[in-house]
Structure 1
Amino acid sequence: SPATATWSSTWAVSGVIVVESVEYRCGQQEQSSQHDKLKVIKKSCDGKKTCDIDIQIFGTPDPGTCKYLDTTFACFPAVHSTACEGSTANLRCDEGEVSVVYWADYGRRDTTTCSQSRPTHEIQNSQCPNPTTKVADSCNGKSSCTIEASNSVFGDPCPGTYKYLDVVYDCELHTVACEGSQANLHCDDGHVIAVHWANYGRRDTSTCSYQRPECEVQNAQCANPTSKVADSCNGKSSCTIEASNTEFGDPCPGTYKYLEVAYDCPCECLQDCFTNLIP
């Protein structure tokens, strides 16, 4: 059998699609399950720079009906990393920045990626999308992160097919506030806060550990992602939020916690989502 590849690549792209919502309607009448349609379109379009959707994948409209597909999506500047099965994906950010994973997929979505020296039958199945949150769970909020592209990590979505791990991520500003203090987010004039990730808990033993007893910092398995910072701060030019159990609850009693926030400052004119209407 062919040798296991150890190839991976990372490159910057101007922007990638992340689909947020889908509605398939006739006037104000909703047509069947929107959740199922969202899953289909996200599998087809997330992580790509362009994407065409044929609405007939949802069935052929009856003559004279007025069905249309209303898709809301965002375009994010991002770094694209690909790791062939058996190799590792390496996410890296500059000092003072951390990774925020927008999208990841372990499977096969074309016949060319990671195809060198592979037999045809291992790469011909290009209908094997397999979106995963495991990369985000492992790497969000870290300045560097390595994750193996393997069935042992992600499962095997298509046995017999040689797969690869695609990751789309960006590096964002990072602020940390120890429990009992405040996180201060600030953007320059004409720009607003866009929080991509926040966590109140403890993910290592060194952050916010100065003069704390060992028993309060040894629990590094207290990840507690929260949307409260985004709810409070998105769209503002500056924002202050307290790192406290009162604000976020206590995910690990007895552990001294801290609030981490990854955010950027897009132009104020870009804060609204884009809407693409397909007649």
Structure 2
Amino acid sequence: MSNQSLCADHVVACELSTAELSCDSGQTILLIGAFYGRADRTTCIYGRPDGQFNNINCFTRTANRIVAERCNGKKRCSVYAMNSVFQDPCSRTTYKYIQTTYTCLPARESCHSVKYCNTASMCVSVMSNQSLCADHVTIALIGAFYGRADRTTCIQGVPDGQFNNITCSTPTANQVVTERCNGKSRCSVYAVNSVFQDACYGTTKYLELAYSCECKFWKQTVFFFPTMWI
């Protein structure tokens, strides 16, 4: 296995249909990218009126998170290409589709998820326990979040009023962590406002990220979409 090139699978499903992601026995899904909306005038146009694919610059910002939550770590999963799942990023007159790119990892190599509190130093090491790729392993960010989304994370010793806002996040988290960590064997990112900008003044925030350990040659076979866990 360590001498083989692992390719990514690319799945497209038109609106109101289902995207089916699956892996062989002993493997689990790792999402690389998901897109729901419309980015061209060639995908999913058969039998549709011309006016339903004029808008080619609309997509939802939740696609990566939703598909990752439903599929990562599973052998197979189904995702419906519907506005009720992703919200309507365009308009009712635009016919949309979902695109997903994923790869299959041995079950023991499924993604890692870590959280770090505001002001804490975050260090990620991915050098150990990587029999699949031996010494050719690098960090591949799946998603990063800086802000607050609950009242249970990083609250020890924090005054009650500093974790009431649970709907704040910075839009730069993915970009910042990607630039500092992707393609490296280890990296450090500080969970501080000076790095990510203050997403919610007066609220104690935390950094949460999910990442996988990938072979360097995977980058030659995957597709990337505009959202990439925005």
How does the TM-score come out when normalised to structure 1?
0.49
Opposite residue 212 of structure 1, the aligned amino acid is V
SS in 1 for 2:151: coil
Give the deviation of 1:127 after TM superposition. 7.9
Residue in 2 that maps onto 1:215: 161
Distance 1:147 1:156 in 2: 18
**Structure with greater contact order relative to length (CA < 8 Å, sep ≥ 6):** 2
Residue in 2 that maps onto 1:187: 126
Aligned length: 182
Residue in 2 that maps onto 1:56: none
Distance 1:267 1:222 in 2: 34
Partners of 1:98 and 1:262 within 8 A in 2: no
Give the deviation of 1:191 after TM superposition. 0.4
Distance 1:267 1:259 in 2: 25
**Could you say if the C-alpha distance between residues 174 and 216 of structure 1 is closer, same or farther in structure 2, counting changes exceeding 3 Å?**
same
Residue in 2 that maps onto 1:77: none
Q: Which runs of 5+ in 1 are unaligned?
A: 1-13, 17-48, 50-79, 92-96, 113-119, 275-279
CA offset digits 1:106-139 (Å, max 9, x no partner): 3582367xxxxxxx5xx46598274544243783
**Could you say if the C-alpha distance between residues 84 and 133 of structure 1 is closer, same or farther in structure 2, counting changes exceeding 3 Å?**
closer
How does the TM-score come out when normalised to structure 2?
0.58
Note if 1:139 corresponds to 2:71.
Answer: no
Identity of counterpart residues, as a percentage?
A: 23
Distance 2:99 2:205 in 1: 29
* Equivalent residues in 2 for 1:199-210, closer than 5 Å: 199-210=145-156
Partners of 2:12 and 2:19 within 8 A in 1: yes
Distance 1:180 1:142 in 2: 27
SS in 2 for 1:154: coil
**Could you say if the C-alpha distance between residues 231 and 207 of structure 1 is closer, same or farther in structure 2, counting changes exceeding 3 Å?**
same
Q: Which runs of 5+ in 2 are unaligned?
A: 1-6, 22-27, 72-78, 103-109, 128-134, 223-230
Give the deviation of 1:100 after TM superposition. 6.0
**Could you say if the C-alpha distance between residues 149 and 232 of structure 1 is closer, same or farther in structure 2, counting changes exceeding 3 Å?**
same
**Could you say if the C-alpha distance between residues 89 and 206 of structure 1 is closer, same or farther in structure 2, counting changes exceeding 3 Å?**
farther
Opposite residue 124 of structure 2, the aligned amino acid is L
CA RMSD for the aligned pairs? 4.4
